[in-house]
Structure 1
Amino acid sequence: MTQLGYIAILVLWACSTALAVSCGNIENGRVKPGSFFHRRKRTFECNAGYIAENDNNRIECTSSGWSPVPRCILQVCPHPPDIDLAEIVSGEKAEYQEGDVVHYRCYPGYTLAGPERITCSGEKWTPPPKCLAPCIITRQQLETKKLLLSNGRRRTVLIQSDQTMEFLCGEHSDLKIPYFVKCVDGHMDLPTCISGTGEKCGRPPTIENGDITTLSLKEYAFGSSVEYRCQHYYIIEGERKSYCYNGIWTNEPVCLEPCVITQEDMRSHNIDLKWASAQKLYVSHGDFVEFKCRSSLLPNSSNNYRVQCNVGQIPYPQCT
């Protein structure tokens, strides 16, 4: 920096300081150094945890003081959101200020999905968690479906969400589809045990943007299976395994396309990535990405800046 530039900054700082002295200090805030936009008019900024009343931070130093009177009010959040099948175990209070944290806990048997703690930030709470329900498999369900548990017996069991259980087939059944089943928030599709003619199958079907994990054979016995995988960044949808059943392969999975975020796309919407910097970014189907406006541009209040990739498509926000 040149000596002249340094002197200019000192002059701006001195002018702002002089105005603050003549018009008085701002409680829980300060005049922004160098914030000259018209004669004696200035802008001010509030301290951390405070916000300008009515979002108005432009003031003028007059003979009778600041006009309008600058006010920095405490940022507060509403009561933390009520989470079904959960309770707040710490941090509960009558009023919540910027930076306050509350801690949730799910009821016994339920699985917490998301953060245990949420924070008061910018007069709202960070995203809350969810409590996922377990799955209950009864003895009667197992008998009806001719299924056995992995130990070869039948009894009522409870499986927590996101956990996987292996099943076996019972009497007079040759094949189960699929072998392993996952509990998803209280829902679990039990496998199906079948018996058939024993007819063999030819080569398994190919899938776009994916492959089978083993070498493909010319012929497969009844009940055989192959497992599929997707290319990098692609998300598999459906059962990973396909089974040979009476000469026909059961439904194969599909590979869902990722989203490709480029500098050109972001430049056309006047946005940047909030948490990363890259010339090109791949986002898998179902994942979220957060943007921010480019410098000096304002967000459009109708836009959501945290968006989700959906089969190769992403709804870019726009800044103006």
Structure 2
Amino acid sequence: MPNMLLSLVNVIVTLWVSWTYGQETTCDPPAIANGVYAPLRTKYRLEDVITYSCDNGLYHSSHGNTTKCTEEGWAPPPRCSLNPCEFPDIKHGVLYAEVLYRSHFPAPLEKWFYYSCDENYLPPTKDYWGHITCTPEGWTPKEPCVRKCVVNNLEHGHSASNGKTYLQGETVEPLCNPGYSHGSPQSMLTCTENGWSSSLSCLKHCDMPLFENATAIITGKAFRPNDTLDYQCLYGYETRDGRTSGTMVCGEDGWSHLPSCFKSAEKCGPPPAVGNGDITSVPLAAYPPGSRVEYQCQAYYELQGPKYVTCSNAKWSEPPKCLDPCVISEEILNENNIQFKTKGDKTHYVKRGDIIQFSCKPGHSAVTSEQSFKAVCGEGTVQFPRCE
């Protein structure tokens, strides 16, 4: 009974392996006349690679001596022949004509193919037309069409080779103006099959700023517009909003702000209140040492004292005062039988130090001196003249 069970398992495994291979793309062993290959297998799976060599005097494919199992079979097709070259395939170009050429007599005739390259590509000679020749090592040149890269006018920079054409593999060093750099971490840019290895342009950058009472999280690189830089305040220091860290943004005009970290114990609270006056900026919850705010008074009130106050050692300097104006009511005018000298003057508020001119109302005469009718506004008070 156990032997029968074991035989049944073997049959199932064999059927499963056979079904699995039937579902996958496989390749039969390649038939390479006059050549040998490795590794040897009865079946090859998709992507399996073999390496082959040819008998003496014969050449393998000019695409190389390896081939891969693909859904279409072995690629590139392996072969061993007397001709080291297959029909040429010009990448980034087209064949133009086939000619026979003899470099000298009695040298044998050689087969040349003339070709031209696509836009932005050139033969290695930089001529419009190129030709390839079959050699024992295959077609030469191996890359008939190579990329060309041009150094154009460099905005925010310059190059000693402006307008020069470079071929694939050649390098150039763009020179950017102060505050600008190109996008590559290397100073030299290389012309590749797809163009310059990095953008040939000079972009605005922000250098690493000098930190006071803070350290940068990342160092040692140039920052592009919209790049951010995180910083950490030193121990015992904080930012304006009471945090111990912050973020700066690199913009077209430089950093959005510089780190502002100050000792927590030396900060000031909101500026002191002033009657009939206020600061000209938006008040903050905390101010670092050295902060300065400006005061202004309401209309007709006069500012007396310092216009600015400064935060130092957690205290604000002495704030200014806003002195009251002189208020002249109709009641006061009627009590003294006087009026404003100028008929259209209806001002009832006068700033300190201003002169107000009065006259008697019609039918009344002055009982105070002539000089009293030119009154000066003191600190909220006026000496009024009188008429009867």
Q: Please indicate, yes or no, whether the TM-score normalized by the shorter chain is above 0.5.
A: no
Q: Which has the higher contact order (CA 8 A, sep 6+)?
A: 1
TM-score norm. by structure 2 comes to 0.31
TM-score, structure 1 normalization: 0.37
Q: Specify the structure having the higher radius of gyration (Cα).
A: 2
